[in-house]
Amino acid sequence: MCGIVGFTNTVDDPDAVIEAMMDRIKHRGPDAEGKYIDSDISLGHRRLSIIDVSSSGDQPIFNEDGSKVIVFNGEIYNYREIREELINAGHIFKTNTDTEVLIHGYEEYGEKLLEKLRGMFSFVIWDKNNKELFGARDFFGIKPMYYACMGKTFMFGSEIKSFLAHPAFVKELNTTALENYLTFQYSPTEETFFKNVYKLMPAHYFKLKDGHMTIKRYWDVHFSADGEPSLDQWVNKISDVFHDSVAAHKIADVEVGSFLSSGVDSSYVAAIADVDKTFTVGFGKDEKYNEIGWAKNFSKAIGKENTSKVISPEEYWESIPMIQYHMDEPLADPSAVALYFVCNIASDKLKVVLSGEGADEIFGGYNVYSDPDGTAYDRLPRTIKRGIGKIAAKLPARRGVNFFVRKGKDVEERFIGNAYMFTPEQRKELLKITTSAPAPQQLTKRYFDRVKSMDDVTKMQYLDLHMWMAGDILLKADKMSMANSLELRVPFLDKEVMALAEKIPTKYRVTHSEGTEETKYITKYAMRLAAKKDTPEQTAKTAAKKKLGFPVPIRVWLKEDKYYSLVKNTFESESSGQFFNKEPLIRLLDDHKNGKADNSRKIWTVFIFLVWYKVYFENNGAY
């Protein structure tokens, strides 16, 4: 795991500039650094040594004649098999790294190399002879890549903060991203919060030649249910493919550990991986917010060492500016801070951890997936539900009313992912500024259109795989682990696991309770049964436990005078006044404190943006 930076040469002292950019992401690779500079390009690399930890694995790495050079962030789990193919084809290797496999593989196969890879990656290859830059990002978006065109300069990197060190970079807030963020809690498009800075989207590659950039998608998820295998057969297939994926994700020349919450995903990973160390964090003593007791008992049951930490409210709140600095863009997911701390305690003991991200999106694990046809009300004619929904929408918002509003809409109208903070009407009321942000449904439409013929569960999964997972789940996983110089690997997000999951019928992804032991699991049904089948009894118990996943007591804290006042001062600040109307913000805060409504996530969304804005625009990238 590493960090990469680079730019086309238009500066007087490229060596000093690439060094400054590399310094900005030193946390991604504290073990070594390397650079390549010619009259056309500057490439930089920071290394966290995982495979071939000797200096021979340092980057950049060249092909045999030195005509191509690569910088790479990630891990290729099947690099040994591809290496053998390339040796048989006549390529000569100087190292045992997966990086060198990529550069020889690109020589041999061009962009078709991407179809052969199994892993997480973000890399760039410079072809000196053709003056062409090639870059690619992995299938799911586990590893990040950002790019920007500023004047005559093209720059790229693992983190946006590295661009701040380039003299051509123009820092300007993208207010359209702000309005989108108020609904999604993350930046949901190719655009970022920095104007003219973009994300290379998951499963895409680019080519840059003579100042012209082309971007293409090379892979996608294709759900196509196979109704022939029985449930037991699917359970066995999941078991087999997941064992294989975990084994691949353990390939390293250093020790590998595992994160552990009380849910089935991380428990399944930890048990199958047979790691020696697990890591858990929690808050206070309330079991709603603290999974440490469960994790310690589970670790004891599987004979492993558990390291845990109770995060104090003071630690949590004090860390927020630093967290948002590392995040690059505001992310209003309260669990990001908890993830930072669990990465922190793990990094004291090792360099690589496994984690359970992706299981919910791939196997159908979110509770909302059980909603489309889970009640008798759903069997009413669509016209009746829509009529009732329109009437309910005119009533004051509350839980029972919201049920009828939601059921009165098609999934394409109501579902934008696992977070829906502010409606377009609400965000217009909040914002002083006017932007060109589209309605949320315009952003989700391009994904829903690709799965028009699918059932609602599959539609929601497809959307989450492309938006929520990359924009929230994997963003915080990469940035929080790398902030601690820790490599985080996600064996559920494996190309072979996904190929199997695409074929599982919806009824085995999401089923409905009939009150028996065999059918009480509603979400991730087949995967839960696989976990129950082939892991210890203690793991099987987690298959029935309600998922928490490092929960954070934001709702409680915001009612305390100390944190209420902190947030209120932020909302009343000069910075806030540039973007937001004060009255609706304070009303959200007061109604929450007085118990009139749970506005905690909406409050948090605005607060986090203002913290991030202070770090990057008032403190110039300092916290």
Domains along the sequence of the chain with CATH: 2-217 (3.60.20.10), 231-365+467-540 (3.40.50.620), 368-417 (no CATH)
- The pLDDT value given to residue 371: 66
Q: What percent of the chain has pLDDT over 90?
A: 77
Phi, psi angle pair for 12, to nearest 5°:
-75, -35
Find tokens 């290859």 and name the residue: 125
Worst-scoring range by mean pLDDT, 255-264, 398-407, 419-428, 483-492?
398-407
Structure tokens at 288: 């709603």
Instruction: Cite the beta strand spans of 32-162 per DSSP E.
Output: 32-37, 41-47, 61-62, 68-76, 119-127, 132-137, 146-150, 153-157
- Categorize the per-residue pLDDT at 405 as very low, low, confident or very high, splitting at 50, 70 and 90: confident
Please check whether residue 251 is in contact with residue 308, taking contact to mean a CB–CB distance below 8 angstroms. no
Residue type, position 617, single letter? F
Structure tokens at 521: 């699991």
Q: What is the mean pLDDT of residues 107-113?
A: 97
461: three-class secondary structure by DSSP: helix
Q: Is 395 left (phi over 0), alpha (psi -120 to 50) or beta?
A: beta
- CA 292/CA 448 separation, integer angstroms: 39
**pTM higher than 0.75 for the full model?**
yes
How many CA atoms lie less than 13 Å away from 79 in the CB half-sphere?
24
Q: What is the mean pLDDT of residues 19-24?
A: 97
Q: What percent of the chain has pLDDT over 70?
A: 92
Of 287 and 255, the one with more pLDDT: 255
What digits encode the pLDDT tens for the residues 411-442?
998 999 989 999 999 999 999 999 999 999 99
Worst-scoring range by mean pLDDT, 46-50, 99-103, 179-183, 494-498?
46-50
Worst-scoring range by mean pLDDT, 53-62, 460-469, 485-494?
53-62
- CA 454/CA 223 separation, integer angstroms: 8
What is the set of active-site residues?
A: 2
Structure tokens at 616: 């990057």
Q: How far apart are the first and last CA of the chain?
A: 25
How many CA atoms lie less than 13 Å away from 169 in the CB half-sphere?
21
- CA 124/CA 411 separation, integer angstroms: 39
- CA 280/CA 521 separation, integer angstroms: 25
Please check whether residue 335 is in contact with residue 356, taking contact to mean a CB–CB distance below 8 angstroms. no
What digits encode the pLDDT tens for the residues 334-345?
999 999 999 999
State the average pLDDT for the chain: 91
Residue type, position 569, single letter? N
What digits encode the pLDDT tens for the residues 563-597?
999 999 999 999 999 999 999 999 999 999 999 99
Q: Is 185 left (phi over 0), alpha (psi -120 to 50) or beta?
A: left
- CA 519/CA 46 separation, integer angstroms: 49
- CA 341/CA 355 separation, integer angstroms: 14
Beta-bridge mates of residue 41: 8
- The pLDDT value given to residue 232: 96
